[in-house]
Structure 1
Amino acid sequence: MGERVTLITGASAGIGSELARVFAANGHRLALTARREDRLAALAQEIAAKGSPAPLVIPCDLTSPDAGAAIEAALSAAGVELEYLVNNAGFGLFGKAVQLDRTEQLDMIAVNVRALTELSLRFSDQLIRNKGGILNLGSVAGFLPGPGMAVYYASKAYVISFTEALRKELAPHGVRVTVLCPGPVPSEFQARAGFKPGVDSVILNVPPKAVAEAGYRGLMADKRVVLPGLGIKIVPFMLRWFPRGFILDAVGRLQLRRN
């Protein structure tokens, strides 16, 4: 058995980099992956400078079908194996699905759904052996239909469903599986998605650091779902009281205001 590490995807910015800082501060050795090697290297240097073990840096594009194999090979070459997996990487695109670039939307599915699923399954044996855990980045969007961001909302619905089912299957093996579902978070995500923050961002806003801290605590406490911030906690409860058609229209109107 090699040294145990925590793998964090999408660690170069936003919630991902804050998750890296939180896990490192709590004594975890990290393996960081994202496309931007320069940002990963800077984050690794920052973490090491604070006295934590130097993280492994694994530059990787998760839209590639070979990403999982490349990450596994890098970890094996370093003589480490996973104790915790943090599937943070993901992105969204704003606009009508039939008008957005099809390739970009399929890349979104590749990152938000396929890569998250593959890494969870690829490393399941190590997570079971080390009695570790998985933290998946969902979204409050996963509880809703999302006209204006149809593929993104659908991808996060998958993340929630998959996480809950995997949690049930891995619980007998001592593996914790948690889904972290923030609302709008001030980060590069919004610029990448192509929309301006609206009133929902003001009401539901929780800083990336607070989201990361809530996610870490939730995973360690073996929570099924983590909803950071009071406003976010209310959303799933409120959805029970309104017809699906009403929610669909309301989300559609909200998205139109982002233009």
Structure 2
Amino acid sequence: MNRFDFAGKTVLITGASMGLGAEFARQLSRLGATLVLVARSEAKLQALATELGKAHVITADLAAPGAAQRLFEAVTAQAIDVDVLINNAGFGLHGDFGTLPLAGQREEIDLNVGALVELTYLFLPMLERRQGGVIQLASVAAYQPTPYMSVYGATKAFVLSFSEALWAEYQAKGLRVLCLSPGATDTPFFQRAGGLTPPGTKARPEDVVRTGLAAFIAGRPSAMHGFANQLLMLTARLFSRAFVAKIVARIAKPKAPVLLPPSTDKR
């Protein structure tokens, strides 16, 4: 498979208003790509488009029913031919499965899996015709059970398996499919997750995106950012999944809230 040049290509990025999505936009803009930025916050998207100089902006809540279809129709109505789709939108919730709101966990599935699959399906003929591809965002959580983020980890395991299967199906047709799995990264992800503080140093979004783009250009099926993450995942394979799950549970277990004594201040 020939190396891929983003210059002159059109790239659609979901979850583009912040974090890795915004960093993908910045780096691809410097590489000469035309961008279609998608997220819920129009103000943040417009600010990013102004920063980059030029980009198409489409606001959408991709977890909503029918949102993927509406996005596809909005793109085709503007006669935009997409070369590369980056399914970056997603989130995770941290806590006991039985106490986290069911609606929030269903939203995780709808966004992390449902919208990703639908958008891949809808844009696939266009991407194949233009000999482009898809970058799917997973996580190191895809590689082992993830207690206290059980739904999130399961959605990312789906993304990994789904993406690698598509890579094998479509590689001979000239279509690239990459699954990018970051570890803990310095983005707003952990704020929305509910206060989870991962051990160690968080990666820079710039480095994660560079890893992903280099792997996509090279035609690889998957990439994991960070040598430490790669070593950790290789080491985990030496132990049973039950043992790994117990270790992750100890690390990720929510801390008990600090109960302050009743105030005696009478003011």
TM-score tier by shorter-chain length is over 0.9
For residues 33 and 158 of structure 2, the distance between their equivalents in structure 1, rounded to whole angstroms, comes to 28
| Structure 2 Cα separation of the partners of residues 91 and 23 of structure 1 | 23
Matches of 1:248 and 1:154, distance apart in 2:
13
Letter aligned with residue 119 of structure 2: L
Q: TM-score, normalised by structure 2?
A: 0.90
CA deviation map 1:23-44 (0-9, x unaligned): 1111110101000010000101
Secondary structure at the counterpart of residue 183 of structure 1: coil
Q: Give how far 1:110 is off.
A: 0.6
Aligned residue among 236, 244, 249 for 1:252: 249
Pick from 25, 30, 34 the counterpart of residue 29 of structure 1.
Answer: 34
For residues 148 and 44 of structure 1, what CA distance do their matches in structure 2 show?
36
Structure 1 runs of 4+ off > 6 angstroms?
A: none
Q: Which residue of 2 aligns with 1:16?
A: 21
Cα distance in 2 for partners of 1:56, 1:62 equals 17
Q: Per residue, is there more helix in 1 or in 2?
A: 1
8 Å Cα contact 2:196/2:252 also seen in 1: no
Which of the numbers 236, 241, 244 marks the counterpart of 1:239? 236
Superposed displacement of residue 77, structure 1:
2.1
Equivalents in 2 of 1:107, 1:78: separation in Å?
A: 29
Q: Is 2:201 aligned against 1:220?
A: no
Partners of 1:59 and 1:192 in 2: CA distance: 20
Partner AA of 1:28 in structure 2: A
CA deviation vs aligned residue, 1:214-240 (integer Å, no higher than 9, x gap): 111111111111111111121221122
Superposed CA deviations along residues 128-169 of structure 1, whole A, max 9, x for unmatched, are: 100001000000000010111100000000000000001111
Percent identity, aligned pairs only, is 37
Question: Structure 2: which 5+ runs fail to align?
Answer: 1-7, 257-267
Contact preservation (8 Å) 1:88, 1:137: yes
Query: What secondary structure is seen at the aligned counterpart in 1 of 2:86?
Result: strand
Distance (Å, rounded) in 2 between the aligned partners of 1:193 and 1:81: 34
1:229 matched to 2:226? The reply is: yes
Q: Which amino acid aligns with 2:153?
A: Y
What letter is aligned with 1:253?
R
**How far off its partner does 1:112 sit?**
0.3
Q: Which residues in structure 2 correspond to 1:65-84 (within 5 Å)?
A: 65-84=65-84
Larger radius of gyration: 2
Q: Counterpart amino acid of 2:206?
A: K
- Cα distance in 2 for partners of 1:218, 1:138 equals 14
User: What is the one-letter code of the residue matched to 2:139?
Assistant: S
Q: Match for residue 49 of structure 2?
A: 44
Q: What is the CA–CA distance in structure 2 between the aligned matches of 1:257 and 1:149, rounded to whole Å?
A: 10
Q: Secondary structure at the match of 1:72?
A: helix
Query: Where does residue 60 of structure 2 map in the other structure?
Result: 60
Aligned length: 249
In structure 1, distance between residues paired with 2:211 and 2:205: 10
Distance in 2 (CA, whole Å) between partners of 1:162 and 1:132 is 18
How far does residue 196 in structure 1 lie from its aligned partner after superposition?
3.4
| Structural RMSD (CA) | 1.3
Partners in 2 of 1:110 and 1:198 — Cα distance? 25
Q: Deviations over 1:105-138 (max 9, x none)?
A: 0001011000000001111100110000100000
Show the counterpart of 1:150.
150
Q: Which runs of 5+ in 1 are unaligned?
A: 49-53
Query: Does the aligned pair in 2 maintain the 1:177–1:224 contact within 8 Å?
Result: yes
